[in-house]
Amino acid sequence: MRDNPITRRDAMLGAAALAVAGAFPLRPGLAQSAGPLEPTTTGATDMGFVTTSDGIEIFYKDWGPKDAQAIMFHHGWPLSADDWDGQMLFFLAQGYRVIAHDRRGHGRSSQGSEGHDMDHYAADAFAVVEALDLKNAVHIGHSTGGGEVARYVAKHGEPAGRVAKAVLVSAVPPLMVKTDANPEGLPVEVFDGFRAALAANRAQFFRDVPAGPFYGFNRDGAEPLEGVIQNWWRQGMMGGAKAHYDGIKAFSETDQTEDLKAITVPVLVLHGEDDQIVPIADSALKSAKLLKNGTLKTYPGYGHGMLTVNADVLNADLLAFIKA
C-alpha cells in the first residue's frame, strides 16, 4: 500500500491521462470489445498456479462469479493468457466466469525444457479444469490454442463430462504441414524458416510477425496499431525460446483428424478468409467437415489476429453461440 498521500502532481497526471483518452477515441473494432463493467459484489478476481503431474506450474486467471457459466480461453503461439483481455472483459461484463491460462513455457508458466506438444498442452489444460472444478464449460481456442482445445475436448473434456461447447478460432487443425496424406498443406520448409528466424533473433522475429502477416498490417490500406504490435511482442518475449521453438512442430505437424472426429459437443469454427498464418483452406474448411456437430463461419478480409482487431464482431458471434 502507498504510504504517502496522493500529490497534486499525481492528480494532474491522472487528469491528463483521462483527457488524452477522451481526445483519442479507440479504433472501431477495438472500442466496443469489452463494454461497460459494472461494479460487482459477487465473485472474485483471482489468479494462481496449478502444478502438473510432471512438476510444471501453469499460471491462470479466474475472474467472475464462481457459480456462473464458465468460459475457458486457450491462447495461440507464442502468446499468453493476456491475449484474451478483450474477450475476458467482454464476457465478464455479460456475467460469465472467465478463465485463461498460460501454456507451459509461455507467459508466467514454468519454462520447462520438455513437454511442448499437444498431448501435454491438453493435459495441462485438464489440470487447470480439474483444479478449478469447471463443469459445463465452453472452451475457446485461437490458433495453436484451437489445437489444444480439440485435443483437450476429445481426450479429456468430453470423457469427463466437463464440456458444453467449443470454439475453434483461426485454429490449426486438422494438420498444417504438407504430407502425402495432406498434399494441400504448407511445405515443411515454411516451418523450418520459422525455426531459423526464431533461433537467429527471436526478438526481431517477434516484432516482424505482428507488424506484418499476423494482423494483416502488411496489406494495402491497413493501419498498423503500434500498441497491438508491442503487446504481441511483450507476450512472446515473456515465454521461453525452447518452448517456442518446439511449439512450431507441435502446431504444424500434429495431425488432429481423429480428435475432430471424436468430438460430439457443438463446435463453432471461425476463420478469416485472409488468414496469412493458418490458411483457411487447409484448416477451417476441413475441420468443419470432420466435426459431427460443427458450424462454420468465415469472415471476408479478416486475418489471423481478428479476435483483437475485429473484437466487436467476434465477441458478438461468440456470445450468440454460447447463448444458443
Catalytic, 109? Answer no
Using CB atoms within 10 Å of the CB of residue 37, give its burial: 0 to 12 exposed, 13 to 18 middle, 19+ buried.
Answer: exposed
What the block records as the C-alpha cell of 218 is 502488411
- Tell me which amino acid residue 269 is: V
Query: Which residues touch 51 (CB under 8 Å, ≥6 apart)?
Result: 57, 58, 127
Fill in the amino acid letter for 223. E
DSSP string computed for 263-318: --S-EEEEEETT-SSS-GGGTHHHHHHH-TTEEEEEETT--TTHHHHTHHHHHHHH
Distance CA 319, CA 324 (A): 9
Catalytic residue among 80, 110, 143, 287: 143
- Count CA atoms within 13 Å of residue 266 on its CB side: 12
186 forms beta bridges with 177
Neighbours of 222 (CB within 10 A): 13
Helix (H) or strand (E) segment spanning residue 196: helix 188-209
- Identify the active-site residue in 74, 106, 120, 304: 304
Residue 80 annotated in active site: no
Contact status, residue 274 vs residue 303, Cβ threshold 8 Å = yes
Element (H, E) at 142: strand 137-142
Of 62, 83, 259, 275, the active-site residue reads 275
Residue 74 DSSP SS3: strand
DSSP state of 27: P
275 included as an active-site residue: yes
Instruction: Enumerate the active-site residues.
Output: 143, 275, 304
